[in-house]
């Protein structure tokens, strides 16, 4: 386990800034997962889970030593939700792929827009979630004298990330738009908190998100819609 301990504690020094290599590697796994998601490959989910585990140890600074000496509870907590939702997405994409007889080399799903009912449900959950979690995060505290806006931003990112990942699992085009909304707040907050690799990657990821949206939009217009596992179960 010596190599694992060395990796866990390895640091990258850029000028006066110290960065953990596990933050860099965790984000690279996340970026690879995003590319897999854009291509609609099932492997995107387990690759993403590996990145989530690494990033949890970075953002949960109260339990793991980090150069920033800060804990981003929303960022850490969302890694846990990422893992839970990714397990669901991994299972669901496999189910849809098998049900619709998509080949091993073909995309696992055909994307579509969320229905109006589905959209109102996730938007309502987003608003309610932000209201609840900004209060919860403020009660827990940040471990430093954080301003009130910090908890609103952290809650926005936390809930929005969960909504976006769930929408990806469902194969909705909306998931890309949800990620854009998360990045608009997430990149400045990560930079402000000195998590520079994460901030830079999420800025680059924003470009990939825009491109991925148009890739999925084209597929939703040109490919035959999938049969859903829920439809078969109730038939």
Q: Which residues contact 126 (CB under 8 A, 6 or more apart)?
A: 159, 160, 163
3-state secondary structure (DSSP) of residue 9? helix
3-state secondary structure (DSSP) of residue 19? strand
In total, the chain counts a number of residues equal to 235
Distances in whole angstroms, Cα of residue 57 to Cα of each of 20, 127, 183: 10, 28, 21
Provide the residue ranges of all domains of the chain, joining segments of one domain with +. Answer: 20-234
Q: Lowest mean pLDDT of 39-48, 60-69, 192-201, name the range.
A: 60-69
pLDDT at 35 over 90: yes
pLDDT, one tens digit per residue, over 178-198 is: 999 999 998 888 888 777 777
pLDDT, one tens digit per residue, over 103-144 is: 778 899 999 999 999 999 999 999 999 999 999 988 887 666
CA atoms within 13 A on the CB side of 231: 7
Task: For 130-171, give the DSSP string.
Answer: HHHHHHHHHHH--SS---HHHHHHHHHHHHHHHHHHHHHHHT
Q: By the 8 A CB rule, do 229 and 88 touch? A: no
In this predicted structure, what is the pLDDT of residue 145? 76
């Amino acid at each position: 386990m010596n190599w694992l301990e060395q990796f866990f504690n390895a640091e990258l020094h850029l000028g006066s800034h110290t960065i953990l290599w596990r933050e860099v590697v965790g984000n690279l796994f996340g970026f690879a997962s995003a590319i897999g998601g854009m291509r609609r490959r099932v492997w995107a989910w387990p690759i993403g889970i590996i990145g989530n585990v690494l990033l949890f140890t970075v953002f949960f600074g109260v339990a793991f030593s980090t150069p920033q000496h800060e804990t981003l509870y929303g960022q850490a907590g969302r890694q846990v939700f990422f893992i839970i939702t990714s397990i669901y997405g991994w299972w669901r994409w496999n189910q849809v792929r098998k049900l619709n007889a998509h080949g091993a080399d073909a995309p696992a799903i055909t994307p579509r827009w969320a229905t109006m009912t589905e959209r109102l449900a996730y938007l309502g959950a987003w608003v309610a979630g932000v209201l609840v979690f900004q209060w919860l995060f403020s009660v827990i505290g940040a471990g430093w004298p954080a301003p009130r806006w910090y908890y609103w931003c952290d809650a926005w990112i936390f809930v929005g990330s969960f909504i976006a990942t769930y929408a990806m699992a469902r194969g909705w085009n909306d998931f890309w738009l949800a990620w854009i909304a998360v990045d608009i707040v997430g990149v400045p907050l990560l930079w402000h908190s000195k998590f520079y690799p994460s901030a830079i990657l999420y800025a680059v990821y924003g470009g990939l998100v825009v491109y991925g949206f148009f890739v999925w939009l084209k597929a939703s217009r040109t490919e035959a819609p999938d049969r859903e596992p829920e439809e078969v179960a109730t038939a």
